Amino acid sequence: MKALVAVKRVVDANVKVRVKSDQSGVDIANVKMSMNSFDEIAVEEAVRLKEKGTVTEIVAVSCGPAKAEETLRTAMAMGADRGVLVEAEDLQPLAVAKVLKAIVDKEQPQLVIVGKQAIDGDNGQTGQMLAALLDWPQAVSASKVEVAGDKVKVTREIDGGKETLELALPAVLTADLQLNEPRHTKLPDIMKAKKKPLEKTKPADLGVDTASGLKVVKVSEPPARKEGVKVPDVATLVDKLRNEAKVI
């Protein structure tokens, strides 16, 4: 069984992002970039399925600038067999889903695992749109995945409990935090990953039009928090809540 995983290059989760002065987006110049955290989980799950003998080949796909090759190399160091870099910048989720569909049509995987969301745009749309474009069943926010024959059983944490779904393969899954803990890559694996095959292509070569009907109007920082005050006793606190904040 072939598995396809989508990995996005995003600002590292530990970086405090800054908004560009013209409010057109987040400043990524000289900022540490990494694989999107949920995509590490997606890759880890595919690798575990390969280690179990369920999956035989893992193809990692990234849409992004030339530097997204690093993200693909990380996926390959974790255990993906090869990478596909689709060179394009600032694609919206629908455009990414269209690109992924074109690659799925070509590669014919039985299982596609993407992250539940990219931590930069927090869209949480790509997996769902891809499943719709392919007309495949989908299970989002997976916290447990079990493949048996031509079916996959997926557990999802939902409000107040768990839901278990059974999907006929081929299917699209999106990975949630509880699914697994991604492995750290070791130097020999990083070295091996440098030699794994990496194909480069462009949306136009895949016949995909990435034009979008969506425009980011403005990106702004959250308002700065006002300084707090210390109150000497409970009576003063109650008085302030009642007469100043007017919340009680």
Contact residues: ligand AMP, CB under 6 A: 6-8, 36, 38-39, 42, 61-64, 91, 93, 96, 114-115, 117-118, 121, 123-127
Asked whether the beta carbons of 72 and 190 are under 8 A apart, the reply is no
Q: Is the alpha carbon torsion for 237, 242, 243, 247 positive or negative? A: positive
- For tokens 């110049």, name the residue: 29
Which one, 178 or 240, has the nearer CB to ligand AMP? Answer: 178
**Helices in the chain by DSSP H: which ranges?**
37-51, 68-78, 93-107, 126-134, 187-194, 234-243
Beta bridge partners of 26: 19
Minimum separation from the CB atom of position 90 to ligand AMP (A): 9
Q: Is the alpha carbon torsion for 80, 34, 104, 154 positive or negative? A: positive
Minimum separation from the CB atom of position 38 to ligand AMP (A): 5
Minimum separation from the CB atom of position 63 to ligand AMP (A): 4
222/149 Cα distance (integer angstroms): 48
Residue nearest to ligand AMP (CB): 115
Which one, 50 or 116, has the nearer CB to ligand AMP? Answer: 116
Which one, 36 or 201, has the nearer CB to ligand AMP? Answer: 36
Residue 19 tokens read as 């908004």
Which one, 93 or 170, has the nearer CB to ligand AMP? Answer: 93
Which one, 128 or 185, has the nearer CB to ligand AMP? Answer: 128
- Strands 9-11 and 33-35 turn out to be antiparallel
Minimum separation from the CB atom of position 19 to ligand AMP (A): 19
60/248 Cα distance (integer angstroms): 55
Which one, 118 or 147, has the nearer CB to ligand AMP? Answer: 118
Q: What is the DSSP letter of 10?
A: E
156/23 Cα distance (integer angstroms): 37
Q: Which of 124, 230, 221 is nearest to 175 (CA)?
A: 124
Minimum separation from the CB atom of position 180 to ligand AMP (A): 15
